[in-house]
A = this chain, B = another copy of it.
Amino acid sequence: MKRLMITGFAPFGGDKINPSWEAVSRLPDRIGGYEVFKCLIPVEFGHAGEIALEKAEVFQPDVILCIGQAGGRAAVTPEMLAVNLRYASIPDNAGQSPEDTPVVPGGDNALFATVPVRRMASAIREAGLPGTVSLSAGAYVCNDLLYTMLYSFRGTNVRCGFIHLPYLPEQAGDRYPSLPLESMIEALKAAILALD
């Protein structure tokens, strides 16, 4: 049985919940051929990646899938790549506001996800759920975490990816798209089953 480490984020930016951890924490412990290890990650540049790497040291995963919130998006969006860039329009939970600094000084400008992004998005849609590939994970802590994972596990057999979730209905108010929690959970399961 293969080992999947899946991460969710704590709330940030004034929100009281983060759909990523709400969904991740409710996943079953086995999905398809994967044993599932869940961990909660702080919304802090740098520290997010450190915690994830510590957990990976313990779990020894075959695949690392990080999940985050992208308020305003209308679909579950597997990310194609991470960029070597940090920029915060609001401070992270440690009060950091980097402005166009690199995640890894001297690292590649961008790293492509090593999970099958197109197939994961297709699998989400085939489950009757909204799923599209995204070409930008932003420059906030989500991107920071994905870049750090891809950089740290480059040249290894550990595959890394990221999936952004829309708002939950309770966060969305009148103006933003949202997706029910149950649908998010189903979308993540579909994406995991498409890993291989």
Contact = CB atoms under 8 A, between A and B. Distances in A.
B132 A174 contact: yes
A28 interface: no
B74 A130 contact: no
Nearest to A71: B175
Interface residues of A, number: 40
User: Quick one: copies of this chain in the complex?
Assistant: 4
A180 B74 contact: no
A100 interface: yes
Tell me the interface secondary structure of chain A in the complex.
Answer: loop
Interface stretch (A31-39, A78-86, A157-165): A78-86
A83 B81 contact: yes
Given A109-B111, A118-B100, A139-B135, A128 B83 contact: no
A172 B136 contact: no
A169 B128 contact: yes
Interface in A47-88: 72, 74-75, 80-81, 83, 85
